[in-house]
Chain A
Amino acid sequence: MSNLAIIPIIIPLLCGIIAIFFHKYVKAVRLFSQVMSIINLGVVLWIGWLVLQNGTITLATGGWEAPYGIIIVADPLAMLLVITSNIIGTACVFYAQSSLSKKQEQFYFYTFYFLLISGVSGAFLTGDLFNLFVFYEVLLMASYGLIVLGGERIQLRESLKYVLLNLFSSMLFVTTIAYLYSVVGTINMAQIADRVQQVDQTGILTTIGMLLFFVFATKGAIFPLYYWLPKSYIVPNPVVSALFGALLTKVGIYSIIRTFSLIFVHETNITHDLFLWLAGFTMVFGAIGALSTNNVKLIIAYNIIPAVGFMLMGIGLLSQDGLAGSVYYLLHDMIIKAVLFLLIGALVYVAGTSDLTKMKGIIHHYPFLGWLFFLAALVLAGIPPFSGFIGKILLIQGGVEQGQIMLVVVGLGSSLLILLSMMRIFMRCFWGEKEELNGGLKPIRSFTWPAAFLLIFSVLLGVGAEWVYPYVEIIANDLLDPSIYIDSVLKE
């Protein structure tokens, strides 16, 4: 029982509120946000270290003990994701100063950013299903603010769809929680898991589980519910796209991992087998989508989808290797998607267009940007020894162990398509004859180094797998045995 568990939510919340007071003074608010992001990252790293060393930290807010009050549970999985979110957030804050116009920065960008981080951290840390809904709303509210930032015509059109879809799924979410409450009489996740286990997950509970999956699948962009994602993720500023692509869908995936490894694990032949099918379709359709367009931003946005498929595959397998693969892939994908969106933002900035066919030879003018992109493409496609490879090999191992050969083949095939889609960008935009750029050389150092900073983490995650993997293995073990989570919350 320690207040440490709530610190990763409180610091960004306070920073966001304080940033409102001087939002007009761009330099001050920028400096404040940069310094506070770094401080927050340090604090979160420290808490994460404590959790990995000494085990889960829980907090009963307001002194209301579980299962009556709202419980904040900082377990290794949640803390690892919170740390990753904060690393990405810090890079994005430094990227924002050159990517956003002064007016956009004044218009509460930093406040929305901090609230987004607060909401995302909250969603990872909460141990209460209704509270999870509340944090979804917090991060969605912030994302509504971010997606319309700038207020261009196309942004308003896409954000309208985004808002409507999210309102619908949030409504369904809270309805589903009401159903669940009427059946098991609690909204504390640990106690739900305990009670579902006692009644052996009867039919109605499986139905409710599928409804919950539907909600999370909408947020997490799983086939066939991904149609809203690509277009609405490319309309805002690149830095906002990076935050969305790296954090928002992953909260949906995290929720699926949590609920379907903790609560609904007794009817796997209905739920988890379906996940395997959906995972396969998600990989295929996402990869095809990425090849279907010439818009570089859209290619990256479509690449979010097959990655979601890979993570879902691990959850469907529900084995040691599968879950470890999912978690590893989740960490890898959060970082690499942010890197790609940031790099593509810089590419579109220097080329002045997002059409693949209208650029060539960029690498002659911007070699560093070109090679960074090449490296990021290799990481994304899962070329050894980078992080995508480690996640994929774990998933493939898990798949082969359970005889899911078809799915493994589909996964490997879609990886090739992903690599092809990335190489298309690299060959068309960066290769080719040297061509005079309209507008001349632009300074892009402030664009490239936040991306390079993130890419270092991504490479470390792959090369340093020996060091990271033990923690992921512990997390996968914890996930496979729901009683560990239940005991850490309801121990008395």
Chain B
Amino acid sequence: MKTNDLILRTTTALIAFILLAFSIYLFLAGHNAPGGGFIGGLMTAAAIILMYMTYGLDTMNKVIPLNFKLLVPIGLLIATLTGVGSFVFDQPFLSQTYTYVHLPILGDAELATAMLFDLGVYLTVIGITLTIILSIADDN
């Protein structure tokens, strides 16, 4: 019997985008408000997994032709190098700083180096979550 997944497909198209947008908001807010790279990464991974569940492995592998395993070392490298970066400025390991910049359209924004560290965490979490779940899904 062919399964009827019309409702799942319709809602996923909508919900996945809301999830992705909210996860990016969480990621950006993270360094000084509730949120952060870890929780943002988990939510992004949840959105991607939802799409995998709805559209199937084959379709999604075509849509996102990305080896998620590679995200783990990239994320780790970014996070570690953010810490090491403070060596260049002769500051203690993992020191951080921030500044305010004026962006067109968006207005004043705060840029913090803590966000770079968070980016590393974000990528690592996405990479690990998807690697685990997809390798379980592959394993028939």
Residues of A at the B interface (CB closer than 8 Å) are 1, 3, 6, 10, 13-14, 17-18, 20-21, 59-63, 72
Contact = CB atoms under 8 A, between A and B. Distances in A.
A20 B96 CA distance: 27
A10 B93 contact: yes
B84 A14 contact: yes
B95 A62 contact: yes
Contact of A1 (B72, B80, B84, B92): B92
A10 B84 contact: yes
- The SS class assigned to the A binding surface is helix
A332 B73 CA distance: 36
B87 A3 contact: yes
A1 B84 CA distance: 16
A21 to B, nearest CB: 6
Interface of B: 70, 72-73, 76-77, 80-81, 83-84, 86-87, 91-96
A59 B73 contact: no
B93 A6 contact: yes
A10 B80 contact: yes
8 contacts: A1-B92, A3-B86, A3-B87, A3-B93, A10-B84, A14-B80, A20-B73, A61-B94
5 nearest A-B pairs in the assembled complex, by CB-CB distance: A20-B73, A62-B94, A17-B76, A6-B93, A61-B94
Given A20-B72, A59-B93, A62-B93, 7 more contacts: A3-B93, A14-B77, A18-B73, A20-B73, A60-B92, A61-B93, A72-B93
A3 B95 CA distance: 11
B36 to A, nearest CB: 16
Given A17-B76, A17-B77, A18-B77, A63 B95 contact: yes
Given A17-B73, A20-B72, A21-B73, A62 B96 contact: yes
Nearest to B96: A62
Nearest to B69: A20
Contacts of B77: 14, 17-18
Nearest to A11: B84
Contacts of B84: 10, 14
A1 B91 CA distance: 10
Contacts of A17: 73, 76-77, 80
Nearest to A1: B92
B92 A59 contact: yes
Contacts of A61: 92-94
Nearest to B90: A3
A10 B72 CA distance: 17
B118 to A, nearest CB: 14
A292 B80 CA distance: 47
Contacts of B86: 3
A63 B113 CA distance: 14
Contacts of B91: 63
A62 B92 contact: yes
B15 to A, nearest CB: 33
A460 B14 CA distance: 70
A13 B94 CA distance: 14
A14 B81 CA distance: 8
A212 B73 CA distance: 34
Nearest to A70: B94
A60 B80 CA distance: 17
Contacts of A10: 80, 83-84, 93
A382 to B, nearest CB: 41
Contacts of A3: 86-87, 92-93
A366 B95 CA distance: 55
A17 to B, nearest CB: 5
A103 to B, nearest CB: 17
A8 to B, nearest CB: 12
Contacts of B76: 17, 20
A13 B80 contact: yes
A359 to B, nearest CB: 41
Contacts of B73: 17-18, 20-21
Nearest to A10: B84
A18 B92 CA distance: 23
A63 B92 contact: yes
A142 to B, nearest CB: 13
A60 B94 CA distance: 9
A436 B123 CA distance: 57
A6 B84 CA distance: 10
Residue of B83, B92, B94 most packed against chain A (CB within 10 A)? B92
Nearest to B114: A62
Contacts of B83: 10
A478 B94 CA distance: 29
Contacts of A18: 73, 77
Contacts of B72: 20
Nearest to B97: A63
A37 B72 CA distance: 23
Contacts of A21: 70, 73
Contacts of B81: 14
A50 B102 CA distance: 46
B87 to A, nearest CB: 6
